[in-house]
Structure 1
């Protein structure tokens, strides 16, 4: 879990450095919905959802379903692993 938290902190620092509004979502608690990606952001007017995973992490079926629903609704949604962080930053630079 520490690897995922460290990665989360790197992603949040990157988003903050780019002036991106984002919120960390904690799903599964008593009054929250399960399956929502970890970070919800607004990038240049676009809704972006990011599910963060440690190198060996795997998204749940509900997380994958939610990501597909976001895409169908016109948003951008990702399962992001540390190995893909540079590729994500390139995408961000293109979107901004």
Structure 2
């Protein structure tokens, strides 16, 4: 769990330094909803739901479902592992410049790792 928390802090700092609005969501408590992404982010007009995982972490079906719902609503659902952090930073820099690749899901692996659920 410490690895995921350290990764979370690194991602939050990067996003805040870029000027993003970032909300850390704690799910599963008495009055909160389970399965909501760890970070809810608004950056340069885009809504991002970011589920963070440690290197060997696995998302739940509910977490994947919510990422898909974010995409259906026009946002970007991201399942982010530490191995993809550098590419994630590049993705955010593209959003910052207003340059979104035409084939978004073919460029960034953290947007496709959970692709198997998109058509369910």
- Aligned runs of 1:1-96 on 2, under 5 Å? 1-96=1-96
Cα deviation, 1:23-79, whole Å, max 9, x if unaligned, reads 000001110110000000001011111000000000000000000010011001101
Aligned partner of residue 64 in structure 2, secondary structure: helix
* Aligned mates of 2:36, 2:52 — CA distance in 1: 11
Aligned partner of residue 58 in structure 2, secondary structure: coil
Q: Greater share of strand residues, 1 or 2? A: 1
Aligned partner of residue 79 in structure 2, secondary structure: strand
Aligned partner of residue 59 in structure 1, secondary structure: coil
For structure 1, which runs of at least 5 residues remain unmatched after alignment? none
Structure number with larger C-alpha Rg: 2
* Aligned mates of 1:69, 1:9 — CA distance in 2: 25
TM-score by length of 1: 0.98
For structure 2, which runs of at least 5 residues remain unmatched after alignment? 97-120
RMSD in angstroms over aligned alpha carbons? 0.5
| Runs of 4+ in structure 1 over 3 Å off | none
